[in-house]
Amino acid sequence: CEQASSPDNSAVKQQYAHVRPSWSPDGMSVAFTATVNTVLGIYLVDTSGANTRLVHAGDAIGITWSPDSKWIAFSQGRNLFRRKASGDSLVQITSTADDIRPAWSRDGKSIAYVHSTGVWLLDAATLAARQLVNAGDCPSWHPNGKEVVYLKVVFSSASNAADYRIDAVQSDSLTARTLTTIVSSYACSFVSINPVGGDLLFARTSDNAYAQVAKASVTNGVPVVLVDDGGDYPAWSPDGKKIVYTRTQQGDGALWIMNADGTGKRRLTSP
């Protein structure tokens, strides 16, 4: 999941120029990873599409924002770092060389992330880390602010295929529960829950079709496809009303924004 979901082994050729977008909590900016004018790094762009600027040079990806929109955290070299959104004050916050996909809590006190031994939680002040679950991927914070929602891929002997189960674990008591299972014959990844509740957002990929952006209710897990002609790495706006994603059609590969129901698609960046 650190690279594009399926651009290399797919029979359908797709383009990934601007990837892994993350919307700032104040709604003003989107962070993403790209190579612009030969410089690979993390860039910010205003949600109007103006003012693209570099904030961190390097092979960094998987961006999350502090709730006050002043800091970003990301993975580079499979360690986690944080940096001011202005580009100042780079700080390494983990050093195991096995940490990816950070997700900052709503109160700013913790960062959930993926380690080789599951989903972990980092104290943003002390940098002390502890394990939440021993297997999981793509953490995001539940709207209640107390649970970390994550993807758990479980092989089903009944269907002879993978089940994409969405679980949630209490960050303090470690009590876990299953929210739903996404019903899909496609591979599902980059799952996140709507920050105001209700729906799960995710990418679906197949070796012989364009990547898709879909959502599913936490009550039934049935996908509703929002983008079927090339879309990946979807992320919610802070109010849950819009979605930013990479449009993977050949000749594009940049960021687009749409309403949460799939209408109103518009370009945000140009490749």
8 pLDDT above the threshold of 70: no
pLDDT tens digits, one per residue of 163-197: 999 999 999 999 999 999 998 889 999 999 999 98
12 pLDDT above the threshold of 80: yes
10: pLDDT confidence band, cut at 50, 70 and 90?
Answer: low
The pLDDT score that the predictor gives to residue 135 is 96
239 residue type, one letter: D
Q: What is the mean pLDDT of residues 86-113?
A: 98
List C-alpha distances in Å: 161 to 26, 151, 158, 232, 248.
40, 16, 8, 22, 26
Q: What is the mean pLDDT of residues 217-235?
A: 96
88: pLDDT confidence band, cut at 50, 70 and 90?
Answer: very high
Q: What is the mean pLDDT of residues 228-256?
A: 98
Mean pLDDT over each residue of the chain, to the nearest integer: 95
The pLDDT score that the predictor gives to residue 105 is 99
Q: What is the mean pLDDT of residues 27-52?
A: 98
Q: What is the mean pLDDT of residues 202-221?
A: 94
Residue 79 burial by Cβ neighbours in a 10 Å radius (0-12, 13-18, 19+): middle
pLDDT tens digits, one per residue of 127-139: 999 999 999 999 9
Q: What is the mean pLDDT of residues 194-222?
A: 94
161: pLDDT confidence band, cut at 50, 70 and 90?
Answer: confident
Region of 207 (left: φ > 0; alpha: ψ -120 to 50; beta: rest) is: alpha
Q: Of 3-7, 57-61, 87-91, 116-120, which gets the smallest average pLDDT?
A: 3-7
pTM (two decimals)? 0.94
6: pLDDT confidence band, cut at 50, 70 and 90?
Answer: very low
Kindly state which CATH superfamily the domain 18-267 is placed in.
Answer: TolB, C-terminal domain (2.120.10.30)
243: pLDDT confidence band, cut at 50, 70 and 90?
Answer: very high
The pLDDT score that the predictor gives to residue 168 is 98
156 pLDDT above the threshold of 70: yes
Asked if 44 contacts 30 with a C-beta cutoff of 8 angstroms, the reply is yes
